[in-house]
Amino acid sequence: MAQFSNMATLSYNGTVANSNIVTGEIVEVLSAAKTAVTDTYTGDDKLAYVVSVVNSGTTAYNNLTLTDNLGGYTSTTGTVYPLTYVPGSVKLYVNGVLQPQPTATAGPPLTITGINIPANSNAVIVYEAETNGFTPLAADSTVNNTATLTGTGITTPVTADETVTAAAAPVLSISKSLSPTVVNENGQVTYTFTITNTGNTEADAADNVVLSDTFDPPLSNISVTYNGTAWTDPTNYTYNDTTGAFSTVAGQITVPAATYTTNADGSIATTPGTATVTVTGTL
């Protein structure tokens, strides 16, 4: 609720007289709330935001503009933006009815124009944004972004913000290599499995990580190492030399959390945690 005041001045014959000061209040009839569909994020993630606007007044608001700062924050090089608008994702509903798609300019900041809200009505603006190279990923990191509604008839910009938190979880991927790739019959080969963790939490024994593979053709007389340490069957893994089925015992593989550093341009560099399993055997 905004207040205003003013005073009149009367001048005559070189004399000035001031009136009393009158004060009034402008009752704001537009209100807004912003919600993220999910309250956590990871790297390479996509977030959906819902901005709900209520017009409780008797006058329509037309051609309004919604601006989203996409979580911009100050780094050593200036303002960086941890979210990127997903082109074409914006949708506008008025009183629950889908409207023609408004115009969105990705920015940053994101601007959405052409929003019309009739009297005694509500509007819902939905759009998506992706995490990017400036999104903080360390444990307890957050992204806070603010939506601001402006336009003719709005005395004070209407704002709504939302905060999402970096998910505290391991994020694992695996790659496999073979050496040598050309081998004689009854020759020896080595499969190397590299597991990487780009998440901010260690994959520990409780996560029950299991690596499984079926070697074709099956290997015989295998030897297995984990991060360079010899493993034994069945304590650490199981293997069927008839079918070639190989599997590690649940919880034997752990992978450290990633580490994060900030580059000179404000972007976030991720150094994954890694674990390596090798299986060597004869074809």
How many CB atoms sit inside 10 A of residue 189's CB? 17
* pTM, 2 dp: 0.82
Q: Indicate if the alpha-carbon torsion angle 180, 182, 183, 185 is positive or negative.
A: positive
Tell me: pLDDT of 36 over 90: yes
Dump pLDDT digits (tens) for 122-148.
999 999 999 999 999 999 999 999 999
- Rounded CA-CA distance 82/165 in Å is 12
Q: Are 113 and 67 in contact (CB under 8 A)?
A: no
Question: Cα-flanking dihedrals φ and ψ of residue 30, to 5°?
Answer: -100, 135
Domain ranges of the chain: 30-166, 172-282
Tally: H helices and E strands in the chain = 0, 26
Fold classified for 30-166? Immunoglobulin-like (2.60.40)
What is the rounded average pLDDT of the residues 52-69? 96
Q: Are 197 and 170 in contact (CB under 8 A)?
A: yes
Fold classified for 172-282? Immunoglobulin-like (2.60.40)
Going by pLDDT thresholds of 50, 70 and 90, the confidence category of residue 12 is confident
Q: Which residues pair with 275 in a beta bridge?
A: 195
Whether 30-166 and 172-282 share one fold: the answer is yes
Dump pLDDT digits (tens) for 257-278.
999 999 999 999 999 999 999 9
